Chain A
Amino acid sequence: MTKKRALLAGAHFMNGDVACAEGAIAAGCRFFAGYPITPATEIAEHLSERMPEFGGIYIQMEDEIGSMAAVIGASYAGLKAMTATSGPGFSLMQENIGLAAMTETPCVIVDIMRGGPSTGQPTLPGQQDVMQAKWGSHGDYGIIALSPSSVQEMFNLTIEAFNLSETYRVPTLLMGDEIVGHMWEKVVIPPASEIETVNRKKPHVPPDKYAPFMPDDDLVPPMACFGEGYRFHATGLTHDEHGYPKTQSSEVQSKLVRRLCEKINKNEDRIVKVEEIMLEDADIAVISYGIVARSALSAVRKARETGIKAGLLRLITLWPFPEKRVKKLARKTKAIVVPEMNCGQMVREVERAAKETPVAFLSKLGEDPHRPKEILEVMRRSA
């Protein structure tokens, strides 16, 4: 089997879905299970062609529930695994995303957001799943979600998503949208030597001493895989360090669930990525993410031209929410503007962190993201 085509280093012109698929390959993903859904289908199509070229596995499952289950299975069998979907499929996956969180399964779920609820607008963009990303499955758990704004970022952040999921043993979500998914842009794929990839840490004790859910100091347990001789058990039930069900113990429940949350929250500084543009002296800050951030950047530049001291905080990490950055920003700005393609989701987090600083929300639903002048108008009013 040749592996020479696994990484297509060089400059390419491709769409965001394909860039995401290539990012997965570059990250070392060797298992993809999915189900056709607009606007994420191109990821599956591309991987169905690419995966066999270097021995990777592509399977089209019977639904998104099965896709997510197969991804968890493949990850436990030792492969880096991914699925990709859009809103309706993302809803179907939620129970098993919770299973992945509970069993601390490294895996990546790509949600190319379209307009919802329900079947909604399959071919149009939205940012309506970002709260679902955090709270979609029942119970409390930590999760990581990233938001790409460009086709290049679809590539880069897919790698980042794999690295984070392998580091923290947590399902990691790439929350794209229909525009970044379908838009064609230049993508530069660096040579393998310049791509950093992370693999889950393996047990450092022999099988008879191994407890699959005994965390190290970073709160993340080393992970054995099936067939390696560790003979361990994993369950979605509340379990102790050995993976054995302890469903009647409040102590075990509290210890486990708090750790699942804390391993993400306590590592916030290491996980969170934002882009800060012209914020040094900004009176007004726009906080934005995904495709909308590109409109917001244009609006900020226009504002600067008209003398408004504006800046942009682009959230690359949505979850864990970059609370410290937003708090810091809120302390030194007079107003914050949050444009989103939903009825007000991340703005709630911003308001919570901003405390006294006024936050203006600009909602947009339907075909296009906000136009720069619409954002500029709100900035003017807030200034």
Chain B
Amino acid sequence: MPERIRHAPLGNKKVKQPNAEVHIITDQCKGCGFCIKFCPKKVLEESQEINARGVHPPKILDESKCIICSFCTAVCPDFAIFVVEKPCKEERHIKHD
């Protein structure tokens, strides 16, 4: 589990902008679609390509939307997708009420 989701950001003035790198091991995918369906930020979509197993693997729609919740990594039955956090480039200020 990425470090950031273990700790609530409450009270923090600054939150690091997640900088995700989504890795898809295309030929390991069996096309169940769990990662696409259950991604809370809709980062993925079904590819038009057909992989070595004859299914449509996911492809990345918008990597910048990824919050590195890693649900896709955890729910993938085939160990075909994972997310890593790239080093942060910028910090974003957020407002608390």
> Within the complex, are A and B direct neighbours (CB within 8 Å)?
no
A→B interface (CB under 8 Å): none
